[in-house]
Structure 1
């Protein structure tokens, strides 16, 4: 899975990462927790991604690793959207 995500993914992440300045690049290795994502934010982010892409992300994909970095979350979203 490529770490090059689409614009929709980045827009959803930026809306849900309160500590990511608008002028900063969103890097694949960026730690989502360091960018302000907390447990409630994870739920909101998940719902936003499912709505944006019109998919349901299986519970089996909702791991700590999936939410650890931008690239990890994109891998999950990319695999679900390519299967849809």
Structure 2
């Protein structure tokens, strides 16, 4: 399975998905909530994404739709890392 995202993102997602074998692919439309990604895991993801990609999640980007699947989250990161969008300055 070819990934839609980079290695950094893959590692971030694997960090909150417990029990996913290292050699197993992560489906882009995997239901993260059904895999046990709860609000605490989402907060952890936000912090790690902000540090990794040097962005700030605006309030409107923090919602269930952004964290529903790896593909949805990757799309949100893509928007945040677009030139001129990067969220609030750090």
* Alignment TM class, shorter chain as reference: 0.7 to 0.9
RMSD, aligned α-carbons: 1.5
Gaps of 5+ in 2: none
| Deviations 1:17-50 (CA, angstroms, capped at 9, x unpaired) | 2142323201111111122211111100111111
Asked which structure has the greater RCO (Cα within 8 Å, sep 6+), the reply is 1
User: Could you tell me the TM-score, scaled by structure 1's length?
Assistant: 0.86
Match of 2:50 in 1: 50
Match of 1:29 in 2: 29
Structure number, greater radius of gyration: 2
Aligned residues: 82
Gaps of 5+ in 1: none
Match of 1:71 in 2: 71
Shift of 1:7: 1.1
User: Could you tell me the TM-score, scaled by structure 2's length?
Assistant: 0.81
